[in-house]
Amino acid sequence: MTEAPALYPAPGVDPPITSEGHESIELQHVTKRFGKVTALDDVSVSFVPRKVNVLLGLSGSGKSTLLRHVNGLHRPTDGTVTTLGTPVHSASERTLRRLRGRVGMIFQHFHLVGSMSVLENVCTGRLGSLRGPRIGLFSYPRAVREDAMEQLVRVGLADKAFQRADTLSGGQQQRVAIARALIQDPAVLLADEPVASLDPVSSAGVIELLTSISEERDLTIVCSLHQVEIALDFAHRIVGLRSGQVVLDRTAAEMTREDAYGIYSAVAAPVAVDDRSWRSPR
């Protein structure tokens, strides 16, 4: 007798979130409107697992909006988003909270608590998995404090652990933010212009750190940047956005500097992904 196929997930039960076999991040025909503004316009893209994927594009082209769809901070007006096997477009808030436990995020302005010690800032990365409020470093379990210190060692800031976060330089603060994301043991790290506030030397240091951590931990990184040269040097894959549309999508190895700078050419008209005419000199 043939067994009836298992219902999976059972009705009303959220599917499990694992990275095993569900590494992909995929947007299919995603449109996002904010009132009359179309921030994303029929975007279909998938990111390469365990690699550094970079989004390039002018201010307002939709980079942050796209990143925020990956962890469900935004939901599409139309289309589907699947992250680590989770259908973000239709997931419950509870499922999204669990997904965000596997998807870390860092920002241009670091979002640290300046008055807190560096070590406590890193511990806060575990708040999602701890019950109850935590105030003060010693309100965190010892294992969390030890883990936080290990992350600080990895980002090269163990000697700053007990300093106030706001006494650190911008580059150091971004490293603390990376450590805070890593303590979640994420499968995916979203980085929204992580080096936009940093000088060129600190920028290169932070990007090098991100790429080496991606290799060590098989971490998928999706990172928005304004620096074409950094993208060409460090990205595995580059996706160009213009006016909410994908105008370029290929590996950095296959991309010329002219291609990459072409993403910024001032063309108002939307261009299809497979139409390379937007690259012609004008």
Ligand X SMILES: Nc1ncnc2c1ncn2[C@@H]1O[C@H](COP(=O)(O)OP(=O)(O)OP(=O)(O)O)[C@@H](O)[C@H]1O
Residues near ligand X, by CB under 6 A: 34, 37, 39, 57, 59-65
- Which does residue 65 touch among ligand X, Mg ion, none (CB within 5 to 8 A, set by kind)? ligand X
Query: Could you tell which of ligand X, Mg ion, none binds residue 82, using a CB distance below 5 to 8 A set by kind?
Result: none
The residue among 39 and 247 lying less far from ligand X, judged by its C-beta, is 39
Find out whether the peptide bond into 9 is cis, omega within 30 degrees of 0. yes
- For residues 33 and 164, which CB has a smaller minimum distance to ligand X in the complex? 33
Beta bridge partners of 239: 55, 249
Convert 36-61 to b/e letters by CB count within 10 Å (16 or more is b). eebbbbebebebbbbbbbbbbbbeeb
Backbone phi and psi for residue 198, each to the nearest 5 degrees, phi listed first: -110, 155
Q: Which residues contact 92 (CB under 8 A, 6 or more apart)?
A: 14
Residue 145 CA to residue 156 CA, distance in Å, equals: 16
> Does the protein bind Mg ion through residue 61 (CB under 5 A)?
no
Residue among 216, 217, 218, 254 nearest 235 (CA): 254
By beta-carbon proximity to Mg ion, the closer residue of 63 and 69 is: 63
The interface partner of residue 61, options being Mg ion, ligand X, none and the CB cut-off 5 to 8 Å by kind, is ligand X
CB 64 within 8 A of CB 224: yes
Closest listed residue to residue 72, CA positions, set 8, 17, 35: 17
Min dist. Cβ of residue 39 to ligand X (A): 3
Q: How far is the CB of 32 from ligand X (least distance, A)?
A: 8
Q: Which is nearer to Mg ion, 157 or 195 (CB)?
A: 195
Q: How far is the CB of 57 from ligand X (least distance, A)?
A: 5
64 binds Mg ion per the rule CB under 5 A:
yes
Q: Does 202 bind Mg ion (CB under 5 A)?
A: no
Provide φ and ψ at 8, rounded to 5°: -140, 120
CB of 60 to ligand X, least distance (A): 4
27 alpha-carbon distance from chain centroid = 14
Q: Which is closer to ligand X, CB of 29 or CB of 109? A: 109
Least distance (Å) between residue 159 CB and ligand X: 33
What is the smallest separation between the CB atom of 37 and ligand X, expressed in angstroms? 5
Note the residues at the interface with Mg ion (CB under 5 A). Answer: 63-64
